[in-house]
Structure 1
Amino acid sequence: MNGFTLVFATLAALYAWGWWRSKRLGRGWPLWRLLLFVGSALAIVVVMSPPSMHWAHDDFRGHMAVHLVAGMIAPLGLVMAAPVSLALKSVPAQWGRRWVGFVSLPPIRVLSHPVTAALLNTGGMMVLYLTDLYAAMRHSPGFALWLHWHFIIAGCLFSWAIVGPDPAPRRPSLEWRFGVLVVSMAAHAMLSKWMYRFHFPASVPLDQVRQGAELMFYAGELPEALLAYLLARQWVRSRYREAAAVPGPRGSSSCP
């Protein structure tokens, strides 16, 4: 059992226990969130298993498939399952106040800002694939392990900064987050095109680079499209609440 299996199997078990406890106490928690979290955690376990990691090490296409699941798709599922909100339902109220205080700390606010999260996420990919770092990673197991954790955490951080349902005081406006998301999507697409056209990483055979870049470009659109949809839905709901809060003319009815 590797570290990824231990960590994410434990997180899935803790989430399932929290869901069961919430249901037993009559507070309830959506079953779809449980399935989303457990499925996303198990997806990371699968792609970080020895067979998948051997494939990713020997074939750039395998590396890109692992990266897409562990760094983009699964983090979105983990975040949208709202694990912090579930945890706060199972602990005393003072823990909720401590969480708000923690995420309000200046270093945490900077780290969780959408711009910072985008730089760590998409910027990290640019540094890895457009320099010699990818070749160095293939010859350094410790560096490779650090990079895998980096992309998982950066993917979760980016998803949470853009659309995360868990409480995050002083989060930038929806318009701000949408702008960061659009720039990040453009940078992601540009990176895949550069890789395809200019043969990056140069240490990888050209046919693998091009197929990996195609996988990155087309499959990467799915989680990005989901982020855009979720953000647009939040925007529509916020506008609906604002419209509902505006009182109508005196003596008139709010119904059409």
Structure 2
Amino acid sequence: MWIPTAPPSLETFLAPTLQPIPLIPAIAALLALLYLAGAVRLWSARRKWPVWRTLTFLSGCLVIAVVMGAGIEGYGLRMFSVFMFQQLTLMMAVPPLLILGRPGTLLLRATPHWGPGRLVLRLAHAGLRSRISRIALHPGFMIPLFLISFYGVYLSDLADQLLPSWYGHVSLEVLFLAAGVLFTVPLISTDPLPIRQTHFGRFVDIFAEMPLHAFFGVIIMMATTPVVDFFAVLPASWEVDPITDQGIAGGLAWSYGELPSVLIVLFILVRWQRDDARQAVAADRHAETNGTPELDAYNAYISRLNDRADRAHRS
């Protein structure tokens, strides 16, 4: 692994510095190429595909490439605050960008129905119907996985065991991205899904995560000793105190980690209001066309009761 020696600065953070095995940036580049190929195929066939969704997905891939392929990745091997920034970006900022691009819908629309494409479509449909996908997107699985990515990794020896090696470091980064995607998909995705939550269920899920997420940041900020021994020693020439750096990491978890959650809450509320308005309009149109048999029957029943009461009163 490439580990920086120069003191941290904005210039060194953003300098293009690929690791010897840039696995995650390569995956991001491959995803971007596949997505762009699918969008171009639809456009070439004069089929509509929103440009803004394409730009959103490509932006998510670009963020992954920068966070994992620039100097940030090297400094994340030494500084807790930088590694926390990477984690929060992979879990909170990148997944909404990827999901709003609707890659699942693009896959189903752009993949040819012959040759290898037929096999890809069969696998995609099998994945949608599988029990594994239902479990992976269930709140009983995704919320604990999301929280384990914070509490389980840092408040145990797991981080100290995995971070020193390339395999462990990359495995944690993949875990963060996967946990973020699994948590975000049921909240904002409009792709075909094996299960789809109600708006109220999404609202409950995001509010169940937000306080625990913020509480983790407070724990890290208030700690007076190193939480992760791997980040306890920094080069003296950097003039960075490990405890101060740890406090910055906790502050990021509390602030930067909460901002995407608030935006998702607003997104859910707006979509909830739009769906309710759309259903109300559809119900009014249906009533105008077909009438309201149940309401008419109820009104007739009330009218008969009133007639009986009037007759009884007169008699």
Query: Which of 13, 30, 43 is the equivalent residue of 2:63?
Result: 43
* Aligned partners of 1:18 and 1:86 also within 8 Å: yes
1:214 maps to 251
In structure 2, stretches of 5+ residues that fail to align are 1-20, 233-241, 290-315
Query: What does the per-residue CA deviation read over 1:212-249, in whole Å, with 9 as the maximum and x for residues that have no partner?
Result: 11112111122112211221122112211221222376
2:38 maps to 18
1:115-130 to structure 2, matched below 5 A, reads 115-130=140-155
Query: Which of 133, 152, 156 is the equivalent residue of 2:158?
Result: 133
Q: In 2, distance between residues paired with 1:250 and 1:6?
A: 56
1:82 maps to 102
What is the number of residues matched between the two proteins? 253
**CA RMSD across the alignment:** 2.3
* Aligned partners of 1:115 and 1:180 also within 8 Å: no
Query: What does the per-residue CA deviation read over 1:147-195, in whole Å, with 9 as the maximum and x for residues that have no partner?
Result: 1111111111111121112111332222112101101111100111111
TM-score (norm 1): 0.90
1:238 maps to 275
In structure 1, stretches of 5+ residues that fail to align are 252-256
* Aligned partners of 2:159 and 2:228 also within 8 Å: no
**Which secondary structure does the structure 1 equivalent of 2:177 belong to?**
helix
- Output the amino acid matched with 2:259: L
* Aligned partners of 1:100 and 1:169 also within 8 Å: no
**Which secondary structure does the structure 2 equivalent of 1:246 belong to?**
helix
- Residues 97 and 169 from structure 1, CA distance in 2 versus in 1: closer, same or farther, beyond 3 angstroms? farther
- Output the amino acid matched with 1:25: A
Q: In 2, distance between residues paired with 1:243 and 1:122?
A: 38
* Aligned partners of 1:85 and 1:167 also within 8 Å: yes
Larger Rg: 2
Cα deviation, residue 98, structure 1: 5.8
1:163-178 to structure 2, matched below 5 A, reads 163-178=188-203
- Output the amino acid matched with 2:64: I
Identity of aligned residues (%): 26
- Output the amino acid matched with 1:36: T
- Residues 189 and 141 from structure 1, CA distance in 2 versus in 1: closer, same or farther, beyond 3 angstroms? same
1:153 maps to 178
Q: In 1, distance between residues paired with 2:288 and 2:178?
A: 52
TM-score (norm 2): 0.74
Query: What does the per-residue CA deviation read over 1:16-65, in whole Å, with 9 as the maximum and x for residues that have no partner?
Result: 11111111211121111111111110111111126222101111111111
Q: In 2, distance between residues paired with 1:220 and 1:59?
A: 18
**Which secondary structure does the structure 2 equivalent of 1:57 belong to?**
coil
- Output the amino acid matched with 1:81: G
Q: Judge which range, 86-95 or 211-220, deviates more.
A: 86-95
